[in-house]
Every structure is written in C-alpha cells, then in structure tokens.
Structure 1
Amino acid sequence: MSKRLRSSEVCADCSGPDPSWASVNRGTFICDECCSVHRSLGRHISQVRHLKHTPWPPTLLQMVETLYNNGANSIWEHSLLDPASIMSGRRKANPQDKVHPNKAEFIRAKYQMLAFVHRLPCRDDDSVTAKDLSKQLHSSVRTGNLETCLRLLSLGAQANFFHPEKGNTPLHVASKAGQILQAELLAVYGADPGTQDSSGKTPVDYARQGGHHELAERLVEIQYELTDRLAFYLCGRKPDHKNGQHFIIPQMADSSLDLSELAKAAKKKLQSLSNHLFEELAMDVYDEVDRRETDAVWLATQNHSTLVTETTVVPFLPVNPEYSSTRNQGRQKLARFNAHEFATLVIDILSDAKRRQQGSPLSSSKDNVELILKTVSNQHSVESQDNDQPDYDSVASDEDTDLEATASKANRQKSLDSDLSDGPVTVQEFMEVKNALVASEAKIQQLMKVNNNLSDELRIMQKKTSRLEKQNSTPESDYDNTPNDTDPDDMGSSRKGRQRSMVWQGDGSVPDTAEAHTAPSPVLPSTEDVIRKTEQITKNIQELLRAAQENKHDSYIPCSERIHVAVTEMAALFPKKPKSDMVRTSLRLLTSSAYRLQSECKKTLPGDSNPPTDIQLVTQQVIQCAYDIAKAAKQLVTITTKENNN
C-alpha cells in the first residue's frame, strides 16, 4: 500500500468515504458494502482485493491507483455524467442507500450490464468494430495513458489481439516500450506473456532486450501466476523464478495414507485430462482459492455484528454465463471441500501442472490423492440425512431432464471428479457418463445400506454403553462432533456410528437430558439468541485470524478453545433432535469444523509426534476451518430468522 494519504478517496459506486477494497479490472476503489455486491457477481465481472490486508504486486497496485486517480470510474458511469440523466431520474447509489436492492441493482447495471458506458455507433459487422478497437489498443499501449486503454478494453478491444500487419500483440508493444503498468492492465484482461510474435519472440524477450528488467521479471511472475497463487495459498511461499525455480509443491503432513482404487482412478483421471480441460479445472480452483482467501480477509476486517447480515455472504463461486452448466456446477461444488480435501486437490493440480510443463510422462507414484475418496465418504455419511442439500445458484442445465433423472444424490457425489473437470461435453461423452452413473448406482446404494446398518449397530452399542455410564452421561447428539483424537478428516463409513456427544462440554453446563430416541423437535431458539451467539463466535474467529496474520502461532490453541466454547453454547440453543434437515446439516458443519479447528491448531505444538511439514500450510487449514464455522453459524441465523418469521 502506498504511503500517501487516502482520506480524499471515496467509493466509486456510492461515494462513501475511505474505501478499503479495489476492483482490479475496473480500476476503482470500493467500500465494504459495495464490495459484497461485487463479490456476488463473480471474478469475471469484478476482481476484488483488499487494499491493506491482501498482498499486492507493487506495480499492480500502482496500476489500479493510476486508473482511479485518472478518472477510470467515468468509463463505467459515462452516461450518468450527462445532465440529461438527472432529468430522466437515473442516478448512482449513495452511502445511505440500502445494499439490497438499491446498491446491488446499481452495481449490476454498472458493471454487469454496462448500462452507462459510452456506446459506439451501430455497425453492421461487430467483428470489424472489435478489430478496429484492438488496433487502437495495439498502438495506445506504447504510451502511459492507462485510462484510454481501459476504455478501449471496456468497449471490446482484445488484449491478446494479434496484429496481422505488425505481427505481434499489444503486450509485445508495451514490453518493448517498457510500459509496465500497461502490461499489468493487459495481463488483468487476459494477455498471455508467453505468446510469440512473428519472429518467435515473447514479451519477456522484448523487455529483456530493452533493459526493462523489472518488467521482464514481472512478466515471468504473471506467466506463472496461477500456480504461484495456489502454492502461496498453501504454504505462504512463491518460487524463485529468477533462479529458474518455477514450481513449489507443498507436502501434506499425512501424505503417507494408503490409497484406494477410487483415489488412484481419480488421480489417473486428472492426469489424463486434455491440456484444455486441465487448464479449465486449474482456473476454477484458482477462483475458489481467491474466494476463500477473500472470505478470510472479510472475516478479519468486518465488524463482527455485520457478519450475520445477508450482505457479506458469498458461499460459493457465482455462475459465469460464459461457461457450460457442467463447469458451473463443478465450480460451485468446490465450496463443499473442507480444508484438507481442498489442499489435496491444490497439491495434485500443482504436481500435474509441473509434469505437463516439463513434458514428463504420466507418473505411477502414489501421490496424495485421497480427495475424491474422502469427499465421497463424507458426503455419504452426511447427505444421507440431508434432503435440502443445494443452496447453490440455479444453473441452467444442458440436459436438465435426463441428467436430473439419472443423477441421484449418491451418484452425484460419485461423479464429483467429473463435475470438477468437465468443460463442454459432446453427446457421446454425456451418454457415457450417464450410463456409468446408472451402472454404479446399485453398488453405491448397497454400500450406503451397509454403512447405515453399521452405524445403527454402533449406535445401539453406544446406547448400551451410555446406560452403564451413570455419571455425566448425555444423550447422543444428532449431529457430528468428533470427541476423540480420531483424525477429523477420516470421516468414512463408520463416522456417524463412532461419534459420541461432546457438544455440551466446555462450559460445564448440561442441558436437559432426554432419551436418545425422543422424537425430532421443530422448536427453534429465538433469532436474537442465535445472532448473539453468532456474534460471539465471529468475534473469536477474528481474534484467531488476526493471530494468523501476525504469525502468532502460539495463540492458535487458546483461540480455538474459545471458539469451541462459543460453538458449544450456540449448539446448546438447539434441540437435540432438530426436525429440519437444514438445521441438522448446519449444526454438523458447525461442530465438526470446531473440532477440526482444534485438531489443526494442535499441530503447532512443539514436539508433536506428527509435526506439519510447513506451518503456513497448517495456517491455511486453520483459516478455512474458521470460515466453515462462520459459514455454518450464518446458515443457522438465516434458518432461524426464516422459520421464526413464518
């Protein structure tokens, strides 16, 4: 962050004071409330970063500041500057407007619909117009006039345009001229630093030839931005590109786990993807990393009482209409992955990206790929009771009727690896997947039946045991809350059966004891009580996130204990057998995430028998667990508010 005073800056969308976020691709600064709307639109509309609590490449921040200071916002509000717009009743939002619907509707019109940008005269051939604009961009990037280039990009100029006469792209021109901020802007809009011109040279080559060494190094960073971001998310380090190191592959502390045939098949599927589909999957995971990191910053910077409002929730990646329905559905399912599962997927992608770039043959090594297996087993043990699972955005399916009839919950989890990797599919590919799902459904249903039988037997054994334990006995909770030292990620077929109630431990108070076989209760606590407990949880989470930001790892355990107590108190508000599936699901997420958080925090203890490979990897797991807790608490606020108002 630059050291200059920022007191004169206002939100580009509502003119509120002291904006703390930036929209990188729009060249604007925005306030918290408007940022929540930007995030809900998706990164294809607006790429947001916190100005102080997100690491910035210096020249990228300088590019955004230059655009902001030179009136980039007028590009997006061109027609609103016309006095006639006031007469017509069209106006921008103001700080006093409600987020929904006022600010949200204005921001969608401004950035998603581009309702206020300057319109070019209609032409019969749009491709000619785009080509003309791209040629103008090609000549403009040799100057320092960023806002002119942003205006051209907003009108449809292509950042990767290959000039037929000049034989190169705008990024070649900017690199040769040493225009590092233009290079940043072009890269934000998708320019590829690895593109060769008609002479076989890349923008990096031209930057080095011209003595623009900072630009050359930055272009290499941009070239590896995706894998660098994934590695930094897990371990807080980036490769040393100057010395030829272009990849970091973090190692999980528990990477020696045995792999099932399903996990091996999942790994083989990832490796066998075409480069195009692999790149799509990697980009989707990149977007999910961005969402999770931004969520963590949001939790750390917001007033905890505002975290329970609707304005802050971006629970999964928003729909991108340019992507297929299959890809959009897979992108949204990434939000289901817990910290361990998601880290495993990231590591697998990093490993295969390195293999593909180096041209290595397919590896037969047993890498850490329990992701799909664990996801399937977790979903089976949880979703068998969850009839209201999707809280996703509606995604128009290409074959809604046939696919929905085939893809029941069981085979929807079984095909998770397909959902995550498939882009546009042919009819033949679709039918192959469909037939495979139908063939596997019987096996999966049989496994689930065995799983339920085992769980029932274990539950009966637990009841017998609990009757013998006269003192301090409590009935079994209907939601997961792992009580012992079992690996929280080991949530396989016996997960529910081996759970013992620990949800009431922590404050010494024991709620009214009831028999475990009591009927489910529809009674829910008051909204005010749930909000009050949620505020306490989020306040404790913020303390933990601040400790993470300041590398105070010795604070993790006491913070996690306070969070656990707050979670215990919140869970105690609800009946032991909630009637609502959504309540049960949210309580399971709340309590199991609190246990997982404690387990991760314990890895920071010195002398641990199984120490983590990297404290930064543990930190990212801690942050994700904290977010899962906050998300579950928010879900419970929403549910109780809705039910109590009915």
Structure 2
Amino acid sequence: MSKRLRSSEVCADCSGPDPSWASVNRGTFICDECCSVHRSLGRHISQVRHLKHTPWPPTLLQMVETLYNNGANSIWEHSLLDPTSIMSGRRKANPQDKVHPNKAEFIRAKYQMLAFVHRLPCRDDDSVTAKDLSKQLHSSVRTGNLETCLRLLSLGAQANFFHPEKGNTPLHVASKAGQILQAELLAVYGADPGTQDSSGKTPVDYARQGGHHELAERLVEIQYELTDRLAFYLCGRKPDHKNGQHFIIPQMADSLDLSELAKAAKKKLQSLSNHLFEELAMDVYDEVDRRETDAVWLATQNHSTLVTETTVVPFLPVNPEYSSTRNQGRQKLARFNAHEFATLVIDILSDAKRRQQGSPLSSSKDNVELILKTISNQHSVESQDNDQPDYDSVASDEDTDPEATASKAHRQKASRLEKQNSTPESDYDNTPNDRDLDDMGSSRKGRQRSSVWQSDSSGPDTAEPHVAPSPILPSTEDVIRKTEQITKNIQELLRAAQENKHDSYIPCSERIHVAVTEMAALFPKKPKSDMVRTSLRLLTSSAYRLQSECKKTLPGDPGPPTDIQLVTQQVIQCAYDIAKAAKQLVTITTKENNN
C-alpha cells in the first residue's frame, strides 16, 4: 500500500515527526520508537500496522486516518489537555525522551492503564453502566461520527451488544445505514458480521438489501479474516469470496511433517471442541501477526538500530484476560520454526474448513486418549510435562472432557527443545543433522528434510572433544560491528523478499552466511556460558537453514513444485532467527564485559 504521509502528521505519543506506524484500535499514528513499546504491550492493547509496508484493506486505513484527523488521540489523553494537569506532574512524552523508561512508562499509562481517559461521574442514583454506553453506541453508529463511537468503546461500550428492544446489534445498524467506516471500527473491537438479529438477518444481509455492495463484500472479508490472514501468511493469496471460495489450504513446498507425533497432533486438533479450537486459532493468528510485524520491522529499520533494545518482541506478550497456561502456550508458539509453524497453520485451516462444512470425524474420545498417552510416552521428562502443561485454555464448561488438553500436541514439539538443548557437551558449531535443534523449534526427526542438510555444503567442523570450555568473550565493539554487517545483509534480503526478487535470495543468503561465520569465529570453540552456546547454535543453524531454503528457488529442482510464497515466508523467519541470535550475543557480551 503506497501511503504518503503529510509532513504535518506527528506521533500521537511523543509528537515526533513522520510517524510510519498506526495503532488501528486506538486510531493513532505512531513513530518507530513508540511503536516498539506498543508491540511489547500485545494486540489486546494495541494493534499495530506499518503504514507503507503492510497490506491494508482501503476502508480500514480510511477509518484510522479519519479517527486520527478528528482528534482520536484526545480520547486517550483527555486529562493531559486540562491545563491543571501539569500541577499533578503528568507530562506527555517528547521525541527527545529515552524509549526506556520515559516513553515506555507514558505509553503504558496511556493505553494499558487508561490513566488519562475521561472518567464518567458515577453516582449511586444515576450510574452509567456498560449497558447504557452500549445503547448510546447502538444509536451513534448510524452517523459518520467515528470519534464519538471510539470514545464510547473506550469507556466500555460493547461492540457486540444485542439491544433488547431493537433486537439487533450496532453492526446491524451501521450496515443498514451503509456506514462502512463504523463497521470497520466495530469489527476492530470484536463485532461479529455473522450475528443474526431477532428476524434472523445478519449485517451482511442488511448491507446487500440496502445496495451497499462494497460494505457487504467487506463484511464477508471480515467474517473470514482469521483464516484469510493465515492463508495469506503462507502463500500470499486470499480466497475469492465474491465467487463463493472462502478457504485456501496451501500445500507445503516440500513434504509435510509425517512423523507419528505430527499425525497425532493433527488428530487431537480435530478432536477439540469448537470453543477450544477457536481459542487455538486466535492464538495462532496473534503469532502470525507477531511474525509478520517483526519481518516488517526488520525490513524497515536502519541496520544499526537492530542491535538496540527496541528490536525484537520475542514471543506473544501476556494477556491478563487469559489463564497462565494459555499464555504459556501462546509464548511457546514462538519456538516453532518456519516449517513446523506452517504445518500447524495448514492443520488449522483444514480443520476450520471442515468444521464450517459440518464434516464429521471418525475418531472417538477413546482414540484421543490413546493418542495423548502415546505422545506423552515419547517424552523422557514426564513430570515436567505433567506439572506444566504446554497449552491449556481458559477454564470453561467444555473443559471437563479429554478434549480440553488436546491442543497440547503441537506445543509438545516445542517443549522438547528445553530437554534436548540442555545437553552440556553440545557445542554451538555441531554439524546440523536430524538431531540438530534450533532455538525456534524441535528435533528434525521425521520432517523428511535431512537430505537437504546433507546434500548442501557441510556445516562447520565439529569442535574437538578435548577442547576445554573457555570463559573468554570478544569485545562488545567487535560483536556489534559484526552484528551490524549481518543485519545490513538481512535488510537486503528482506527488501528482495518484499519486492519479489527471488533470484536475489541465494547471493543474499551467501553474504549472510559469510557474516555469520565471521561473527561465530570471534567466540571460543567451546564457550563456557550456556547462553552464549545457545545463541551461537541458533545463529549458525539458522544461517544453514536459510541457505537451504533459498536454494529451493532454483529452477529444475526435482520433487513437487515450489510454493515460492511459502519459501519466502520461511526465508523471512530464518532471517529473523539470525537477527534475534545476533542481538542476544550483543546483549550477553555487553553484560559480561561490563561486569
């Protein structure tokens, strides 16, 4: 999306010039530094998109622009506009403030604590309730006044409120009135386009009935937003909803993970109740958003900033509305490497389609219990898995049967990392093979990809077993210099990915590999620090994986046809892994050398 910002636009949080990101649900534009804080808060607080390098539905961008231009930021800074607020010590951040703690503390107070939002007076005889606010929202959405509706939503109005007297929701009202931007705002706050009113009609029905065809088509897109986003993440295509195609199920460029663990995981996912399946799908959607945003972040930052504290959001931030076990499972999604995560996404897309079409499953609960036992027996540390389940969900009435733990299967792929990566004698420069692990995933056994590793140029020579562990680390300056070279090369690769210059992948990956080898050579063969070994192992294994992924773009490769979009996504993930490992090494050496 080509979006040229006007020079008059400033960051909503620090007033810095030329903001390049938007917070969709807050209706604001923000700068890079403030965006780094927004990203760390999580999508439940702020949904960020890059204004130029992220695909935008036109009316969604128009909605955010309208809110920004009509002063939506004053909703979140209401009390700061009061001249007496200076007396209380409250102050808006400015561009010269440090990100941490100054900007970060202000942004958390503003959006997480809602410290500056106008509080309605509550009296015992005339308290303003969420129901009252929701009724006001219900009547306001028939007009084009977006900021009024955002203000009501900020105070607690419910986007899916079903009006008892009117028999419909705010989205029905907005659709009947043809208010497409109001529909966008309501959808951002969770309004469901598939909800029926008291006469059985959906908002889509009312939009079509009123001749609002663009709105009707957009509501259908919103209805399938989750599965559309997952498909687009893997293959760069979306279904043709106008012609009744509502799902795309991408196929892997190489063979699917056919291990027994993967088969069992898929069966268990199919056996989930609809409630739990929806939770898992939403968690994976959030992880897709995190990975895509990180890829855009890497591609748009000056390479020297990649080694700063604003670089990476390593896993999904905690959502306090979810149980601790669900939050743990969400965070472990970050450990899936590109291939494993793609397998999970395809499983979810396939099952979403099956569930919508009402196809029955042949497996019974007894089979699910058997699969659970089979998978748990494959893990050596039984007590660790039993004490801390890798994935659970918010407790509900549906959680009393064996299905409640079924989605644990995919997470157990990741949990093996902690057990196998803790082997003290494994050096960072072991030759990658079937047993090799990287920090983003699990054992490669059964993934039908060992031939890729062995047919490529072999990995670094394995360190001599008698080499003693060394506590000596290189200087911080040397590590930063090599990291900047790596990240500069990564930027070049990511630009090639954005511009679909697939023939540039191999030369870019080779330059990255050279820079990674030079970086690794700074460190002793057998570092004493476990953290250094783990980061170096991630750095080197990801560089080899990147080369093997890039080679899939060569023409004439035997086997199934290459899905270039899926390869590109895996290339981006490998590049992210390398940048993450390099940053970890900068952080570790800085800390150790300062001690």
Interval of TM-score (by shorter of Structure 1 and Structure 2) = 0.7 to 0.9
Assess if the C-alpha contact under 8 Å between 2:326 and 2:393 holds in 1. Answer: no
Separation of aligned partners in 2, 1:590 and 1:102: 32
Separation of aligned partners in 2, 1:400 and 1:327: 13
Assess if the C-alpha contact under 8 Å between 2:174 and 2:182 holds in 1. Answer: yes
Alpha-carbon spacing, 1:365–1:301, altered in 2? closer, same or farther (3 Å): farther
Separation of aligned partners in 2, 1:124 and 1:290: 43
Separation of aligned partners in 1, 2:481 and 2:387: 26
Alpha-carbon spacing, 1:32–1:516, altered in 2? closer, same or farther (3 Å): same
Mean Cα deviation higher: 401-410 or 343-352: 401-410
The one-character-per-residue Cα deviations of 1:445-487 (angstroms, maximum 9, x if unpaired) are: xxxxxxxxxxxxxxxxxxxxx9999999999981255468999
Assess if the C-alpha contact under 8 Å between 1:344 and 1:371 holds in 2. Answer: no
Assess if the C-alpha contact under 8 Å between 1:204 and 1:220 holds in 2. Answer: yes
What is the CA-CA distance between 1:5 and the residue it aligns to? 5.0
Structure-2 residue corresponding to 1:401: 400
Assess if the C-alpha contact under 8 Å between 1:171 and 1:203 holds in 2. Answer: yes
What is the CA-CA distance between 1:409 and the residue it aligns to? 15
Separation of aligned partners in 2, 1:583 and 1:552: 34
What is the CA-CA distance between 1:361 and the residue it aligns to? 1.5
Assess if the C-alpha contact under 8 Å between 1:537 and 1:567 holds in 2. Answer: yes
Assess if the C-alpha contact under 8 Å between 2:76 and 2:111 holds in 1. Answer: yes
What is the CA-CA distance between 1:579 and the residue it aligns to? 1.1
Alpha-carbon spacing, 1:540–1:219, altered in 2? closer, same or farther (3 Å): same
What is the CA-CA distance between 1:348 and the residue it aligns to? 0.4
Alpha-carbon spacing, 1:349–1:489, altered in 2? closer, same or farther (3 Å): farther
- Stretches of 4+ moved more than 6 A in 1? 363-412, 466-477, 484-514
Alpha-carbon spacing, 1:391–1:32, altered in 2? closer, same or farther (3 Å): farther
What is the CA-CA distance between 1:363 and the residue it aligns to? 6.6
What is the CA-CA distance between 1:251 and the residue it aligns to? 0.2
Separation of aligned partners in 1, 2:270 and 2:136: 41
What is the CA-CA distance between 1:253 and the residue it aligns to? 2.3
Mean Cα deviation higher: 10-19 or 372-381: 372-381
TM-score of the aligned structures, taking structure 1 as reference length? 0.80
Alpha-carbon spacing, 1:108–1:143, altered in 2? closer, same or farther (3 Å): same
Assess if the C-alpha contact under 8 Å between 1:345 and 1:371 holds in 2. Answer: no
Matched residues, percent identical?
97
Separation of aligned partners in 1, 2:417 and 2:368: 42
Assess if the C-alpha contact under 8 Å between 1:594 and 1:629 holds in 2. Answer: yes
Alpha-carbon spacing, 1:40–1:569, altered in 2? closer, same or farther (3 Å): same
Q: How many residues align?
A: 594
What is the CA-CA distance between 1:373 and the residue it aligns to? 13
What is the CA-CA distance between 1:232 and the residue it aligns to? 0.1
Assess if the C-alpha contact under 8 Å between 2:226 and 2:285 holds in 1. Answer: yes
Give SS of 1:245's match: coil
What is the CA-CA distance between 1:90 and the residue it aligns to? 1.2
Separation of aligned partners in 2, 1:30 and 1:20: 6
Mean Cα deviation higher: 312-321 or 122-131: 122-131
1:550 matched to 2:499? The reply is yes
Give SS of 2:36's match: helix
Alpha-carbon spacing, 1:310–1:382, altered in 2? closer, same or farther (3 Å): farther
What is the CA-CA distance between 1:82 and the residue it aligns to? 0.3
Assess if the C-alpha contact under 8 Å between 1:299 and 1:542 holds in 2. Answer: yes
What is the CA-CA distance between 1:556 and the residue it aligns to? 0.3
What is the CA-CA distance between 1:4 and the residue it aligns to? 6.0
Separation of aligned partners in 2, 1:152 and 1:473: 51
Structure-2 residue corresponding to 1:221: 221
Give SS of 1:555's match: helix
1:289-438 aligned at under 5 Å gives the runs: 289-362=288-361, 413=412
Separation of aligned partners in 2, 1:40 and 1:519: 40
Assess if the C-alpha contact under 8 Å between 1:208 and 1:216 holds in 2. Answer: yes
Assess if the C-alpha contact under 8 Å between 2:431 and 2:459 holds in 1. Answer: no
Assess if the C-alpha contact under 8 Å between 1:483 and 1:502 holds in 2. Answer: no
Assess if the C-alpha contact under 8 Å between 1:477 and 1:503 holds in 2. Answer: no
Separation of aligned partners in 2, 1:261 and 1:163: 50
Separation of aligned partners in 2, 1:574 and 1:487: 20
Alpha-carbon spacing, 1:364–1:403, altered in 2? closer, same or farther (3 Å): closer
Assess if the C-alpha contact under 8 Å between 2:272 and 2:403 holds in 1. Answer: no
Mean Cα deviation higher: 373-382 or 115-124: 373-382
What is the CA-CA distance between 1:260 and the residue it aligns to? 3.8
* Of 597, 604, 620, the match for 2:569: 620
Unaligned runs of 5+ in 1: 415-465
The one-character-per-residue Cα deviations of 1:394-447 (angstroms, maximum 9, x if unpaired) are: 999999999999999999947xxxxxxxxxxxxxxxxxxxxxxxxxxxxxxxxx
Give SS of 1:592's match: helix
What is the CA-CA distance between 1:566 and the residue it aligns to? 0.6
Assess if the C-alpha contact under 8 Å between 1:257 and 1:368 holds in 2. Answer: no
Give SS of 1:49's match: strand
Assess if the C-alpha contact under 8 Å between 1:475 and 1:501 holds in 2. Answer: no
The one-character-per-residue Cα deviations of 1:549-597 (angstroms, maximum 9, x if unpaired) are: 0000000000000010111011111111111111111111111111111
Separation of aligned partners in 2, 1:529 and 1:544: 23
Alpha-carbon spacing, 1:347–1:190, altered in 2? closer, same or farther (3 Å): same
Assess if the C-alpha contact under 8 Å between 1:194 and 1:203 holds in 2. Answer: yes
Alpha-carbon spacing, 1:500–1:481, altered in 2? closer, same or farther (3 Å): farther
Mean Cα deviation higher: 326-335 or 306-315: 306-315
What is the CA-CA distance between 1:307 and the residue it aligns to? 0.7
Structure-2 residue corresponding to 1:435: none
Alpha-carbon spacing, 1:378–1:42, altered in 2? closer, same or farther (3 Å): farther
What is the CA-CA distance between 1:222 and the residue it aligns to? 0.1
What is the CA-CA distance between 1:614 and the residue it aligns to? 1.4
Alpha-carbon spacing, 1:599–1:398, altered in 2? closer, same or farther (3 Å): farther
Separation of aligned partners in 2, 1:390 and 1:310: 31
Separation of aligned partners in 2, 1:312 and 1:467: 27
Unaligned runs of 5+ in 2: none
What is the CA-CA distance between 1:641 and the residue it aligns to? 1.1
The one-character-per-residue Cα deviations of 1:19-74 (angstroms, maximum 9, x if unpaired) are: 00000000000000000000000000000000000000000000000000000000
Assess if the C-alpha contact under 8 Å between 1:344 and 1:370 holds in 2. Answer: no
TM-score of the aligned structures, taking structure 2 as reference length? 0.87
Give SS of 1:29's match: strand
Assess if the C-alpha contact under 8 Å between 1:481 and 1:591 holds in 2. Answer: no
Alpha-carbon spacing, 1:162–1:148, altered in 2? closer, same or farther (3 Å): same
Separation of aligned partners in 2, 1:522 and 1:405: 46
Separation of aligned partners in 2, 1:168 and 1:401: 33
Separation of aligned partners in 1, 2:387 and 2:323: 24
Structure-2 residue corresponding to 1:208: 208
Give SS of 2:29's match: strand
Alpha-carbon spacing, 1:330–1:394, altered in 2? closer, same or farther (3 Å): closer
What is the CA-CA distance between 1:318 and the residue it aligns to? 0.2
What is the CA-CA distance between 1:522 and the residue it aligns to? 1.1
Q: CA RMSD in A?
A: 6.5
Alpha-carbon spacing, 1:603–1:116, altered in 2? closer, same or farther (3 Å): same
What is the CA-CA distance between 1:642 and the residue it aligns to? 1.2
1:91-240 aligned at under 5 Å gives the runs: 91-124=91-124, 129-240=129-240
Separation of aligned partners in 2, 1:472 and 1:258: 21
